[in-house]
Structure 1
């Protein structure tokens, strides 16, 4: 295989806004010989610098064109109101990014797969169910059940989050939302507060991003939406091959609901890992899971047909 082309910074238009993204060109595809691509999206309030590069590099080495993107309002300033976390808006972001990638001259539009992790893992289940052109999907430690994830917060945090969410919805103004922490200590009022959350989340933040001042809060109105989301319910409608990477020790997106939904995907492949929600991103956890992702793609979305 030829030497890997360098990553390129790109911006994907969405109306008057833009989404910051990285494009990893395929080392083997071209406009005269288009090949498959993988589109990668992150989790709850996270941005591409928090580990998506590892997955894109993995896919690029296999010969895929790979794209990692930030949702509108997250990452680099791109004309959207910052830190507004909304499931439906992010579903629209996935649709726009997929259309953008399918129109790249070096990409075979019929052979585009998707990778999502955590909140993004829930997104790819819904995206693959709705967009029948998706060729393959990988859902890593996916958020599949809002009620079950809310139950991991303890008894006090959900009440406090609801109060903050209502206050934000009623009184929050553009550029002046009521903030809520993404990751906190056990018992703390945050969207995630299990024992491994604060250290695990911070480990994903590289020094360069920390120095830049990554926001660790979002508009509290998200707390009114997340407990009622059930992305796993889309699994029976996913017609393409989909790989579910389930972490048995997941304290944020409990494994039980994911197991149940994954069994209903017609072409689902399920593998469980003795890992936590954040340990699958790093070290042996990443190495173990990434090998399985490559093997899955070689079978269902090979670079060379």
Structure 2
């Protein structure tokens, strides 16, 4: 399925997106088709694993607007490869506004779709909005403090201290860059056994294995779980029960607060992507959920 490249502006920066046009009229009304606003997780780009999800949803009759955050992938912005939770949420909301203006879509039926870090952003972005018709949070990271405690099971204290020191150095002086994924024992944002192979398996040509070390500080203050109770539309939370990156127990607390439908999968954080054991079930559940609540 061919996607159309499109740009939009967030914070004065030109951001890149891909528009997948929904097929058929199964979910269309006189106002148009629903549109999915789709974003990736930590340092992720549209060409790194999102396209199979976008194509499946478009085939089911939804338009999809998948975008890169500023400073990542095909989007503009400087500094590059630096995560700002405030900035990414601003980008997400700007993408919602841009998606609502697409031809043939219903601006009052936005679907917010996010995986991992963006699985938390969609909670914050949906809270208190009347134009959001549904939310899909895939292996969402909803509580940075809980994620830090969760990481103690898979990282040594020395490894975590090294990342923290690098973050402070970057915050106080010249930027300190480190890999997004690295082998266990090395400096990196994700060093769990197997995570490097898993991420590289979905990495697209615009993806860069580099991130500002301040990401740990940003994650510490990332708590969209506090807004989960303010979601006023149907929500689907898809939880990997053996997720070593996004704590499943935090996802469940957020899902309970959001009165969400929950689906569980017997896998880890990356097992939801194409070619992995849980992918087909994850996609089927998304299509069934959205077809039901939007039809």
Q: TM-score, normalised by structure 2?
A: 0.92
Distance (whole Å) between structure 2 residues aligned to residue 270 and residue 79 of structure 1: 36
Cα distance in 2, alignment partners of residues 133 and 56 from structure 1: 21
The 1:94–1:72 alpha-carbon spacing in structure 2 relative to 1, beyond 3 Å, is same
- 2:144·2:219 contact (CA, 8 Å) conserved in 1? yes
- Residue 249 of structure 1, aligned match among 242, 249, 255: 242
- 2: CA distance between counterparts of 1:46 and 1:118? 10
For 1:145, the equivalent position in structure 2 comes to 143
2: distance between equivalents of 1:17 and 1:169?
A: 22
2:288 maps to 1:295: yes
Q: Kindly tell me: are residues 204 and 106 of structure 1, through their superposed partners in 2, closer, same or farther at Cα, counting changes over 3 Å?
A: same
| DSSP-derived class of the 2:179 partner | strand
Match 1:134 to one of 129, 132, 135: 132
* 2:35 corresponds to which of 34, 37, 43: 37
Match of 1:17 in 2: 13
Classify 1:243/1:181 alpha carbon distance in 2 versus 1 (closer, same or farther; 3 Å): same
Match of residue 96 from structure 1:
94
Superimposed CA distance per residue, residues 37-86 of structure 1 (whole angstroms, 9 cap, x where no aligned partner): 11110000010001111111011101111111000010025244311111
In the alignment, which residue of structure 1 is the partner of 2:262?
270
Partners of 2:291 and 2:30 in 1: how far apart? Answer: 22
C-alpha distance in structure 2 between counterparts of 1:193 and 1:79, whole Å: 27
Change (3 A) 1:201 1:130: farther
1:31 touches 1:107 (CA, 8 Å); kept in 2?
A: no
CA distance in 2, matches of 1:188, 1:231: 29
Specify which of 159, 162, 165 is matched with residue 160 of structure 1.
162
Cα distance in 2 for partners of 1:222, 1:154 equals 18
- Residue by residue over 1:199-231, the C-alpha shift from the partner in whole angstroms, topping out at 9 and shown as x without a partner, is 11111114xx1xx6x321111122212123222
Task: Give, in whole Å, the separation in 2 of the partners of 1:242 and 1:77.
Answer: 28
**Is the counterpart of residue 112 in structure 1 residue 110 in structure 2?**
yes
Pairwise mapping of residues 90-239 of structure 1 onto structure 2 (< 5 A)? 90-151=88-149, 152=151, 153-172=155-174, 177-206=175-204, 209=205, 214-239=207-232
Separation in structure 2 between the aligned mates of residue 221 and residue 138 of structure 1, nearest angstrom: 28
Q: Name the SS for the 2:266 alignment partner.
A: strand
Distance 2:124 2:30 in 1: 32
How far is the alpha carbon of 1:31 from its aligned partner? 11
Q: State the number of aligned residues.
A: 288
User: What is the aligned-residue RMSD (CA, Å)?
Assistant: 1.9
Q: CA deviation at 1:14?
A: 2.4
* Cα pair 2:184 2:191 within 8 Å, conserved: yes
